[in-house]
Structure 1
């Protein structure tokens, strides 16, 4: 059964979450991209925000910016791949505000390169940042919500490459598959025990952030998204909607949903599609930055919402808007399914 029908089961273990303006929201990876936009949007809507990242100066400037606008915010310099640093984030939120109501596991980085070329050391580091950080954050958040006995939201940011493998970013895809599996599994366990936790998995498509500039590159050409890319505000909108309304999944863009559906129902066709289209659309024609210039082991540059991607830059995501209304989402998914089916049939002729 498609996830579109999840609304039919609402009420079985329905939780009531606070309005954004009444929340304390923790956002990891908040110094740039999706995390930065989410923090700014949450603060604008009245939430108290706790921002965390490795780039202390960027966080300091962000908090000063928010406070100058009359918002309430604090920051924590933290490497979320280190368990003790994640505890420090939670402790700061509790010490400053007495609690947190939503925890967003957003921090992440990538590696561009063929799987056999990427060092095991780099893959281990990638796992620490992308996967273990989610494990640490999930455990801290769930423990806090259970102790308080008041419903809270745990929101984990995955990827379209966590739904279907890809080329060139194979190590990144593996970490996001792990995030998806972890999130789906703990959601069922927590729902079974009726824990006061809403668990949401965010499925971003290609997003226009500094993600590619922060990635470690084994390529000769500079990593970049080419083709259709969505603004980080579309992901932030999905995150904040999930902070107020219990949602199982939120896909950012029909691109992400189509990718998931094709991979599920037409796996071999999708293999070939990826082999043809994903190689040239993950880099620009310019030379790659030196391999040592990346944010895998140290903080990347901060306070940039957008990256240097090329292609069709969307102003928003119709799919995110539709996801807030089950009937509209059903109609959109049905249309996407029909398009996907006709595409496959056309290729087979």
Structure 2
């Protein structure tokens, strides 16, 4: 338990009556310490910058030490409290070191974001088992270690905190060419749902959110381990900016949310896949082979970020497609009552037009 003066009356009551059921109250970002893994590029980099701008103290973790130093210097020059921790999330001792650094520097952390990830592009029977295991170290075991560390921290303090796991569209729906990535994200989604139910049953002071990004314009493809002749890339499709994901992550840091989908694309394919699985199988077979690479040679596998840090301080990739500036669907899901009212209004308007 803690005597933290920043606790709300509701939180103090929850401490005094552990069995009582009340909605978790998370701190505002300006009062938070937020841990972000994979903070040296892409979604993690954008989230770190956005969190700092909103007043949060940022603990940036990644394998790329040089990029972390550059990010920390950039944020400190703007007056933000930031520290960095070089860490490989696939190693439990590194995850523990992130938590220890956050606690020794800021006394605590209030949100933990499991964001670090890497992919492998190649036919399932071509990818080596060693490469599969290495990817699971980062994409599955990393979030598991992070989850366990965050939950222990929040429950020991008795103060509500947020755990945010960044999943994927391909954690809801399998795909060709990225079979190992999809499998690791399926595992992460299952882990997140399971631990959420256990924590709710125990009335633990932990908000658990799963983020479901669609295709995002980051260096994710450039960092990938590729068995393809052509360079992995998002192409011929709708592609959302990393800011849309960061916005969802930081909303979940302040407001308990079960799931947040980035783009109607991610939500639609998940729903249609559940309702019409064979139809979506055929659709994925038709479009996913040619829409996951660019028309240029693939980088050598030894340059990938699977076994060592990729290049940092880049938030965008070299993807070609319909590059969106935002996700209106994600913005709408932040205010479900308002969005439901809008939909109801549109339905009523449509029915009225049909009667004329």
TM-score w.r.t. the length of structure 1 is 0.91
Match of 1:270 in 2: 280
Residues 202-245 of structure 1: per-residue CA shift (max 9 Å, x gap): 00000000000000000011100011100000000000000000
Aligned-residue CA RMSD (Å) = 1.5
Q: Is the 8 A contact 1:13 1:191 kept in 2?
A: no
In 2, Cα distance between the equivalents of 1:147 and 1:180? 25
Aligned pairs, number: 325
The equivalent position to 2:242 in structure 1, one of 232, 239, 253, is 232
The equivalent position to 2:146 in structure 1, one of 137, 150, 163, is 137
Per-residue deviation at 1:332? 8.2
Gaps of 5+ in 1: 1-10, 336-349
In 2, Cα distance between the equivalents of 1:209 and 1:46? 24
In 2, Cα distance between the equivalents of 1:100 and 1:326? 28
Question: 1:47 aligned to 2:48?
Answer: no
Residues 80-117 of structure 1: per-residue CA shift (max 9 Å, x gap): 00000000000000000000000000000000000000
Match of 1:96 in 2: 105
Residues 291-347 of structure 1: per-residue CA shift (max 9 Å, x gap): 221000000000000000001110000011101111344478999xxxxxxxxxxxx
The equivalent position to 2:270 in structure 1, one of 257, 260, 281, is 260
Match of 1:22 in 2: 31
Larger Rg: 1 or 2? 2
Q: Is the 8 A contact 1:319 1:329 kept in 2?
A: no
Match of 1:325 in 2: 335
Residues 44-100 of structure 1: per-residue CA shift (max 9 Å, x gap): 000000000000000001000000000000000000000000000000000000000
1:1-349 pair list within 5 angstroms: 13-226=22-235, 227-330=237-340
In 1, Cα distance between the equivalents of 2:281 and 2:29? 41
Q: Is the 8 A contact 1:322 1:332 kept in 2?
A: no
Gaps of 5+ in 2: 1-19, 346-356
In 2, Cα distance between the equivalents of 1:13 and 1:60? 41
TM-score w.r.t. the length of structure 2 is 0.89
Residues 240-266 of structure 1: per-residue CA shift (max 9 Å, x gap): 000000000000000000110111000
Rate the CA distance shift 1:117–1:16 in 2: closer, same or farther, 3 A.
same
Residues 126-146 of structure 1: per-residue CA shift (max 9 Å, x gap): 000000000000000000000
